[in-house]
């Protein structure tokens, strides 16, 4: 889960990481007020969940409060990589002498948090990583020992000759690790970690991504979620206990169990089709879940066929069959529905569907079902 820069900045402040003074604003007038309060040059920054705002024109310097207001008029409502800017962060402009990069990620290879530091920070860090990866220094953190001074010193010793700066850099990095662990993050990043004209170090940008699987232990963080930036279908699915991920294809998949759902998508690909989604209705299958699943899938305009692939264990095929019928009575589904029901109560399930007289295409095996679904989507 991503949060906005102004929210990440607030977390940095709770951990005493130096950040520029500033506040979030939703209107040009609010921007004017904040700029007046700050009383010097400011930077107006688009708050959207995407990197590279600077290059896209979403980060601009203003000399006066009036100018900040004019800039805010341009940035608010602007489109950055498909996202509409609804709020901006107004911060004091700082005199940046050098832009460093400091980032912590969960590295899945070694299964450790990895600290990355580069002297070549700023807006071109992706290019640095791609073309001159040797300019990014890395250290892995042992989960039992935590961040060790010598590790971080090695990352920064060639950058900072000044003792106080080195000390600050070490302390900021330790705090970033603390945030990472306390809040179950998958990424914590400062880019640019700015060296100012007067020698101070400051986090001139703030980025935090959280591990969604850990949100259950962080209700305060869950509240930071920007509903505008999440797929509404995924929110509805979550509420009804369905695991749903939107994809680009046209074969809608309704499956029980994550493994079978993955295998079903593989099958669709194998027959040269494209799955429209991943959807796991979960173990216990009350008919209501099936209705919701079909509603979510039908809200996608690309859908050309629907594939039910149910292997009944705890899930009962008669429940699924009843859910399908209930859904068909509620919503109009003008596209072919292929149903493969097998396992617990399969005979009862098939009987229910057959008796209903509804226009469904039955399939015996998974292969047959997937093949039919792909053919139907193409015809």
Catalytic residue among 5, 101, 177, 346: 101
Contact characters 169-198, ligand GDP, x per CB under 6 A: ----------------------xx------
The residue within the footprint of ligand GDP, chosen from 96, 263, 328, 348 (CB under 6 A), is 96
Q: Does residue 346 touch ligand GDP according to CB under 6 A?
A: no
The phi and psi torsions of 376 (rounded to 5 degrees) equal -65, -35
Residues 198-227 that bind ligand GDP (CB under 6 A): 204-205
Part in contact with ligand GDP (CB under 6 A); list of ranges 29-37, 94-102, 231-239, 361-369 = 94-102
Task: Please give the Cα distance from 326 to 6 (Å, whole number).
Answer: 46
Which of ligand GDP, Mn ion, none sits in contact with 96, Cβ below 5 to 8 A by type? ligand GDP
Q: Does residue 123 touch ligand GDP according to CB under 6 A?
A: yes
Q: Does residue 122 touch ligand GDP according to CB under 6 A?
A: yes
Contact characters 189-218, Mn ion, x per CB under 5 A: --x-------------x-------------
Could you confirm whether 5 is annotated as catalytic? Answer: no
Task: Please give the Cα distance from 316 to 284 (Å, whole number).
Answer: 8
What is residue 157's DSSP assignment? T
Three-state DSSP at 260 gives helix
Q: Does residue 353 touch ligand GDP according to CB under 6 A?
A: no
Task: Please give the Cα distance from 122 to 153 (Å, whole number).
Answer: 21
Q: Before 106, cis peptide (omega within 30)?
A: no
Could you confirm whether 26 is annotated as catalytic? Answer: no
Which of ligand GDP, Mn ion, none sits in contact with 39, Cβ below 5 to 8 A by type? none
Task: Please give the Cα distance from 95 to 92 (Å, whole number).
Answer: 10
Catalytic residue among 5, 30, 99, 189: 189
Task: Please give the Cα distance from 323 to 265 (Å, whole number).
Answer: 22
Q: Does residue 52 touch ligand GDP according to CB under 6 A?
A: yes
Contact 98, 165 (CB under 8 A): no
Which of 94/293 has CB closer to ligand GDP?
A: 94
**Nearest by Cα to 365 from 244, 267, 289:** 267
Task: Please give the Cα distance from 34 to 55 (Å, whole number).
Answer: 24
What is residue 2's DSSP assignment? B
Q: Does residue 280 touch ligand GDP according to CB under 6 A?
A: no
Start-to-end CA span in the chain (Å)? 38
Residues 31-70 that bind Mn ion (CB under 5 A): none
Q: Does residue 60 touch ligand GDP according to CB under 6 A?
A: no
Active site residues: 101, 189
- Interface ranges with Mn ion (CB under 5 A): 191, 205
């Amino acid at each position: 889960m991503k949060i906005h820069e102004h929210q990440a900045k607030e977390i940095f402040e709770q951990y005493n990481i130096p950040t520029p003074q500033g506040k979030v604003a939703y209107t040009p007038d609010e921007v004017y007020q904040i700029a007046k309060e700050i009383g010097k040059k400011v930077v107006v920054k688009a708050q959207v969940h995407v990197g590279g705002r600077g290059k896209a024109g979403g980060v601009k310097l203003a000399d006066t409060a009036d100018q900040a207001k004019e800039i805010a008029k341009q940035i608010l409502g602007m489109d950055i990589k498909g996202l509409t800017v609804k709020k901006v962060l107004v911060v004091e402009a700082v005199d940046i002498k050098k832009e460093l990069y400091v980032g912590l990620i969960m590295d899945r290879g070694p299964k450790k948090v990895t600290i990355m530091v580069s002297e070549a920070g700023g807006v071109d860090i992706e290019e640095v990583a791609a073309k001159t990866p040797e300019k990014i220094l890395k250290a892995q953190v042992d989960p039992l020992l935590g961040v060790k001074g010598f590790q971080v010193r090695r990352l920064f010793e060639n950058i900072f000759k000044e003792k106080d700066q080195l000390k600050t850099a070490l302390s900021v990095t330790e705090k970033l690790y603390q945030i990472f662990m306390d809040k179950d993050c998958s990424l914590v990043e400062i880019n640019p970690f700015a060296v100012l004209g007067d020698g101070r170090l400051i986090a001139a940008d703030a980025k935090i991504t959280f591990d969604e699987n850990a949100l259950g232990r962080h209700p305060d963080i869950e509240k930071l979620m920007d509903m505008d930036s999440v797929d509404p279908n995924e929110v509805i699915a979550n509420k009804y206990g369905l695991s749903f991920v939107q994809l680009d294809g046209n074969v809608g998949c309704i499956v029980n169990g994550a493994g079978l759902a993955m295998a079903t998508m593989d099958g669709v690909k194998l027959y040269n089709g494209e799955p429209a989604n991943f959807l796991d209705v979960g173990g216990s299958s009350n008919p209501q879940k099936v209705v919701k699943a079909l509603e979510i899938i039908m809200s996608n305009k690309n859908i050309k066929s629907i594939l039910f692939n149910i292997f009944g264990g705890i899930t009962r095929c008669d429940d699924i069959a009843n859910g399908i019928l209930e859904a068909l009575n509620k919503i109009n589904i003008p596209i072919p529905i292929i149903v493969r029901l097998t396992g617990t109560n399969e005979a009862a399930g098939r009987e229910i569907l057959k008796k209903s007289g509804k226009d469904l295409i039955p399939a015996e095996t998974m292969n047959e079902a997937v093949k039919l679904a792909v053919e139907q989507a193409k015809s």
